[in-house]
Chain A
């Protein structure tokens, strides 16, 4: 079932995919506390583990073109089981959206405006997402990706150039001297939380117009997203080294060390601005996916109608996610990583497997 007539090109999908991944950059603090020196290694390992899963998400979507996540579950698991699973996913998306709306808001208040309540920024983010989805729909969401990705990569490259004098290559050595448990933990977080979130795009892929280039641009988008992560890892490790483990925001701390002509300008705010925009973009995608999933699950007529109650629900849940920053970080590192692993990797794997079995049984005529 398709809820809207809007379509977007596979090139826009490229930036949408990259934007969704780049939205996790500010959460990269979770892994720097484990692997301050070997973040790049954890990223490469995660990338290699995740690629088959990315292909699996795509294949599922290609097998059921025109169907979003709810439709796929209905067809694979049948009526009731599919609906229950879709309902679980809707709940997951709502909680994930609330967490993702909280992250940039809390980030801003901790680093820049301590006296400002978190809910003030969350309000603006939610209101903007509400506007984007009701006024534009999926085409607006997709078209924002270009602004977002280009801005983020450009700002990262700019900071790389400005921080070259501060980068020390010895910070990367020795290579491979990291406790396996910590490396595994980082790989777990990156694969399930940063990359696994691409699974949510199953609800958006039906709206891609030129499907012949879909696979190419999908993987190009993943590459662009991973390139951004690698840039961040290189910057943070090169500048801070093992010190990255002690900071709550190692990327912010890195950008604070920029000295242009011996002037200690608050130049980190430029980058933080783009980081907030990319965080907003991730929130927007999650918001849209949650909206269309609920609408499809309950067989409602228009998703735009529910943008208001859903935005209000997510806004109210933003303050209910956790009591403080360290608790959020602990949850993100531990319990949420397991939940994401189950929801975004294990269940889709099972879904693919069941779908394959069903096709095989149908072919053999049983």
Chain B
């Protein structure tokens, strides 16, 4: 499953990267690669079974911290 997913991600990534490569848009290429790698790593990590922290838990911690700070 993981292998198939990585294959699919590589294929999709290659399909998406062709245009900035062709047009030699450096900045676009870098941003594309960074965003794509970030997304792909999250997907692959989850498929591999590694538990990542939940977004809402982080948001809740941030809000609670901010509220405590403002009260203090």
Contacts and interface: CB of A to CB of B under 8 A. Distances in A.
What is the predominant secondary structure among interface residues of chain A facing chain B?
A: helix
Interface centre among A98, A299, A309, A323 (most CB of B within 10 A): A309
Interface stretch (A226-234, A312-320, A351-359): A312-320
A265 interface: no
Contacts of B62: 335, 339
Interface of B: 9, 12, 15-16, 19-20, 23, 25, 27-28, 31-32, 35-36, 38-40, 42-43, 46, 52-57, 59-60, 62-64, 67
Interface string A114-144: 0000000000000000000000000000000
Contact of B55 (A298, A305, A310, A321): A321
Given A299-B27, A305-B28, A331 B56 contact: yes
Given A99-B56, A313-B39, 8 more contacts: A298-B31, A306-B31, A306-B35, A316-B39, A320-B46, A322-B56, A323-B54, A335-B59
Contacts of A294: 31
Nearest to A331: B56
Interface of A: 95, 98-99, 294, 298-302, 305-306, 308-310, 312-313, 315-317, 319-323, 327-328, 331, 334-336, 338-339
Contact of B12 (A98, A308, A323): A308
A312 B12 contact: yes
Contacts of A299: 27
Given A299-B27, A305-B28, A335 B60 contact: yes
Contact of A331 (B28, B36, B60): B60
Contacts of B32: 305-306, 309
Contact of A334 (B36, B43, B60): B60
A313 B59 CA distance: 18
Contacts of A316: 39-40, 42-43, 46
Nearest to B60: A335
A180 B14 CA distance: 56
A335 B63 contact: yes
A95 B63 CA distance: 15
A327 B43 CA distance: 21
B55 to A, nearest CB: 5
Contacts of A99: 55-56
A323 B46 CA distance: 13
A336 B55 contact: no
A316 B46 CA distance: 9
A103 to B, nearest CB: 12
Given A298-B27, A308-B12, A322 B54 contact: yes
Nearest to A92: B59
Scoring A98, A99, A305 by chain B CB atoms within 10 A of each residue's CB, the highest score goes to: A305
A224 B46 CA distance: 41
Nearest to B41: A316
A321 B54 contact: yes
30 contacts: A99-B56, A298-B31, A300-B25, A301-B25, A301-B28, A305-B20, A306-B28, A308-B12, A308-B36, A309-B38, A312-B12, A312-B40, A315-B39, A315-B43, A316-B46, A319-B46, A320-B46, A320-B55, A322-B54, A322-B55, A327-B54, A331-B56, A334-B60, A334-B63, A335-B56, A335-B59, A335-B60, A335-B62, A336-B56, A339-B63
A298 B31 CA distance: 8
Contacts of B19: 305
Given A298-B27, A312-B39, A316-B46, A321 B56 contact: yes
